[in-house]
Amino acid sequence: MHELGVTFHVLKHVEDIAKANNVKKVDAVTLQLGEVSTVIPYMLQDCWKWAVKKSEILNGCKLEIETIPAITYCEDCHGEYETVKYKKICPYCGSEHTYLKQGNEFIIKDIQIYED
């Protein structure tokens, strides 16, 4: 379960940003996860709920997850298609000369701060 390690990495990064900007409390963090990023959203949420309790700045902070769909590009016919549905074989021409165009991202998109 690498979600715990990922959670600690994100928490440290967000805490560092908050401290550098004199933020006392973070209300929410939005992550963008690629559909094939290997991070399981519900496990990440569970780790998050447990880990934020250990941080003064992040205690009670919500985690919002946006999914980026996985899209594969075919070099032969120049088509794009849903990676999860069709895998590596292009549904248009049957080629295996394809590559993942998007869908493996892991991005901290937004940090919302608590304001009195």
Q: From CA 87, how far away is CA 100, in angstroms rounded? A: 10
Domain span including residue 24: 3-70+102-113
Which residues are paired to 73 by β-bridges? 80, 99
Express each pLDDT in 1-38 by its tens digit: 589 999 999 999 999 999 999 999 999 999 999 999 99
pTM above 0.85, yes or no: yes
- Please say if the pLDDT value at position 116 is more than 90: no
Domain assignment of residue 66, yes or no: yes
In this prediction, residue 92 carries a pLDDT of 98
Domain assignment of residue 84, yes or no: no
What are the tokens at 107?
Answer: 């991005």
Task: Domain count for the chain, please give it.
Answer: 1
Express each pLDDT in 90-112 by its tens digit: 999 999 999 999 999 999 999 99
Dihedral sign, CA of 14, 19, 20, 23? positive
In this prediction, residue 114 carries a pLDDT of 77
Q: From CA 4, how far away is CA 92, in angstroms rounded? A: 39
What CATH number does the domain containing 26 carry? 3.30.2320.50
Domain assignment of residue 57, yes or no: yes
The answer to whether residues 91 and 27 touch, using CB atoms and an 8 Å cutoff, is: no
In this prediction, residue 1 carries a pLDDT of 55
Tell me 38's DSSP state: S
In this prediction, residue 25 carries a pLDDT of 96
Sequence letter at residue 26: V
The answer to whether residues 31 and 69 touch, using CB atoms and an 8 Å cutoff, is: no
